[in-house]
A = this chain, B = another copy of it.
Amino acid sequence: MALKTTGLDELPVYEKLMKLARNPHDLSVPGGVNPDRIAAYKTSAAGFDLLYSTQRVDDAVLNGLQQLADQSGAVDQFLEMKRGAVMNKIEGHESENRQVLHTACRDIFSDSPYNTEASQQAKQQLAKLKTFLTELDKGLLTNSRAENFTDYINIGIGGSDLGPRSLYTALSAFSRENRKVHFISNVDPDDAAAVLKKIDLSRSLVGVVSKSGTTLETRTNEEMVRAAYSSAGFDSNKHFLAITGQGSPMDNPEKYLRSFHMYDYIGGRYSATSMVGAVMLGFGLGCDAVMDILRGAHAMDLAAEERDIRKNPALLLALLGIWNRNFLGYETVAVLPYSQALLRFPAHLQQCDMESNGKSVTRSGQNVSYATGPIVWGEPGTNGQHAFYQLLHQGAATVPTEFIGFRQNQQDLDLEIRGTTSQEKLVANLLAQALALATGRPDNNPNRFFTGNRPSSILMADKLDPFTMGSLLALYEAKIVLQGFIWNINSFDQEGVQLGKVLANRFLDHLYVVNRGEAKDRDKYPESWAMLEAAGILREYQKQ
Contact = CB atoms under 8 A, between A and B. Distances in A.
A377 to B, nearest CB: 4
Nearest to A337: B188
B331 A507 contact: no
22 contacts: A49-B534, A93-B447, A157-B382, A188-B422, A189-B411, A190-B339, A354-B387, A354-B388, A355-B388, A365-B445, A373-B396, A374-B397, A393-B500, A394-B495, A407-B536, A419-B516, A428-B504, A429-B500, A432-B500, A432-B528, A433-B504, A448-B498
Interface in A411-429: 411-429
B157 A354 contact: no
Contacts of A144: none
B338 A188 contact: yes
A116 interface: no
A35 interface: yes
A450 to B, nearest CB: 5
A233 interface: no
A389 B535 contact: no
- Count copies of this chain in the complex: 2
Given A216-B425, A332-B332, A531-B435, A537 B391 contact: no
Interface string A18-45: 0000000000000001110011001000
B38 A530 contact: yes
Contacts of A531: 38, 51, 431, 434-435
A85 B431 CA distance: 39
Given A189-B423, A392-B496, 13 more contacts: A157-B386, A188-B339, A190-B413, A269-B387, A351-B386, A354-B395, A355-B388, A367-B446, A428-B504, A429-B507, A432-B501, A435-B531, A460-B536
Contact of A351 (B339, B380, B388, B435): B388
Given A39-B530, A355-B388, A445-B93, A425 B380 contact: no
A450 B499 contact: yes
B422 A395 contact: no
Q: Closest 10 A-B residue pairs measured CB to CB?
A: A358-B391, A158-B386, A358-B395, A351-B387, A35-B530, A428-B507, A394-B496, A432-B503, A193-B411, A377-B377
Interface string A152-176: 0000011101100000000011000
A531 B423 CA distance: 16
B412 A217 contact: no
Given A377-B377, A413-B224, A432-B500, A386 B159 contact: yes
A75 B364 CA distance: 53
